[in-house]
Amino acid sequence: MVNLFKHAKACTTAFAVAAASFMTAGHATAADDTITIGYAVALTGPNATGAGISTVPNYRLWVDQVNGEGGIEMPDGSRKMIEVVEYDDRSSNEDLVRAIERLASQDKVDLILPPWGTGANLAIAPLMARFGYPQLAVTAVTDKAPEFAARWDRSFWMLGGGHDYATGLVDVLAQARDAGTINNKIAAVSVADGFGIDLIKGARPAFEEAGFELVYDESYPLGTSDFAAIMSEAQASGADSFVAFSYPPGSFGMTKTAQAMGFNPKVFYISVGGAFPIYPGIADGKADGVMAIGGVDGTSDSVKAYFDAHTTFVGNPPDSWASAVTFASLEMLEQAIGRVGLDHGDLAADLSSGTFDTVIGQVKLEDNQLRDLWTVGQWQNGAFVGVGPADKAGAAAPVIPKPEW
């Protein structure tokens, strides 16, 4: 016991020491022919994985493309090269807030790009509002987006809320049930963390309203690595549809477990991670038919071009959920600058009311939110394509039942 306490104390000291000295110093020179754009994202720590998939590669790709074309076009037709100030927030919101303060008051960057994650975007929203910077929060999934957009009028929320995704899924399943393809029983599991809780909370009433019966509805703790017990319960439940509101490790683990035990529900839905480019490899090449959160327009040439450019520049394709939206948000910023220049108030006004041509098609925000979203996607012929909402342009028809593993 004594030893344990000693350990705890030593650990605290060590954390404090480490925390005191970690910021990667950036350097900005604000010449007239450049725009400085700053951002603080998680390059290390637990959030580095998410940021490293959806956020950082897109920022770098975009800067590379824009500078390759000679810079951002200003309203007067001149071009300004982008100079980047990049900080690592080490997945800590305290460090993140400090870095944003520094970007705004010391580096005096022209624009600040948002960090990765719902919590991180909420953490900096008041600060961004105080300094007047527009905040294009992409990787933030929250049902409270309308409130936030009203509270901070220069904030923009582009990935919807848990309720959108839950109801989107229920719509897809209800159609299949009405067509007689699946029974009305659902086995649902959810990770006991912000995201999973939000989604299952939205899904429960939506399933009930649509006449579904939740025959298995359990949550599991974050960090769970073994899903054998959960999956065998779900298999025994008699449900045709398996729904998991999960993070990538869980999504991948459940896929492997389902394959190992020969669990072949007619609908196999997982959440974050299902749209990652590595998913087919994890599913041992048998990803076709698996549904997950997100999606892109499988028929769109601009999406295809973006995937190719991303693959060339980063080395792997982007994920098919937040990546394209992140890139679209940067294109919006670029086009808004081209129309109104760098004044933060004008930029925010243009972002809020303007129409933009982006990789995900024509975008027009509603009350500072992107509402025209893919909620459900499915692996079809090796590509992850949007299947819901069914009436969205480019939507593919869902394949139900899923072929056996």
Partner 1 sequence: MFVTILILGLVLGGTYALLALGLTLQYGIARIMNLAYGELTLAAAFILVALMQGFGISPLLTVALIGPVGYVVGSLLYTVMMKPLVARSSGGKLDVDSILATFGLLFLIQGALLMVFGPNFTSISYLDKGVTIFGVTVALNRLIALGICVVVGGALVIALATTRWGLALRAVAQTPTSAPLVGLDVNKVARQGFALGTALAATAGATVAMYQTFSASGGVVFTMKALVIVIMGGVGNVGGALAAGLLLGLVETFVATAIDPGLTLAATFAIFLLVLLFRPQGLFGKA
Chain positions contacting partner 1, by CB under 8 A: 1, 3-4, 6-7, 10-11, 13-14, 18, 43-46, 48-49, 51-53, 91, 189, 192, 218-221, 223-226, 228-230, 232-233, 248-249, 252-253, 256-257, 259-262, 273, 276, 278, 281-284, 316
Reduced to 3 states, what is the DSSP secondary structure of residue 251? Answer: helix
Given a contact cutoff of 8 angstroms between Cβ atoms, the answer to whether 341 and 356 are in contact is: no
Contacts of 2 by beta carbon, 8 Å cutoff, 6+ apart: none
Shortest distance in whole angstroms from residue 53 CB to partner 1? 6
Shortest distance in whole angstroms from residue 48 CB to partner 1? 4
Shortest distance in whole angstroms from residue 329 CB to partner 1? 21
Backbone torsions φ then ψ of 88, nearest 5 degrees: -100, 120
Residue with smaller CB distance to partner 1, 46 or 70:
46
Shortest distance in whole angstroms from residue 41 CB to partner 1? 11
CA 119, chain centre distance (Å): 12
Contacts of 177 by beta carbon, 8 Å cutoff, 6+ apart: 183, 184, 210, 211, 212
Residue with smaller CB distance to partner 1, 4 or 179:
4
Residue with smaller CB distance to partner 1, 229 or 397:
229
Given a contact cutoff of 8 angstroms between Cβ atoms, the answer to whether 351 and 332 are in contact is: yes
Given a contact cutoff of 8 angstroms between Cβ atoms, the answer to whether 355 and 296 are in contact is: no
Cis peptide leading into residue 249 (ω within 30°): no
Shortest distance in whole angstroms from residue 321 CB to partner 1? 14
Residue with smaller CB distance to partner 1, 232 or 299:
232
Shortest distance in whole angstroms from residue 131 CB to partner 1? 28
Residue with smaller CB distance to partner 1, 283 or 296:
283
Residue with smaller CB distance to partner 1, 256 or 266:
256
Question: CA–CA separation, 48 vs 51, rounded Å?
Answer: 5
Instruction: List beta partners, residue 86.
Output: 39
Given a contact cutoff of 8 angstroms between Cβ atoms, the answer to whether 290 and 380 are in contact is: no
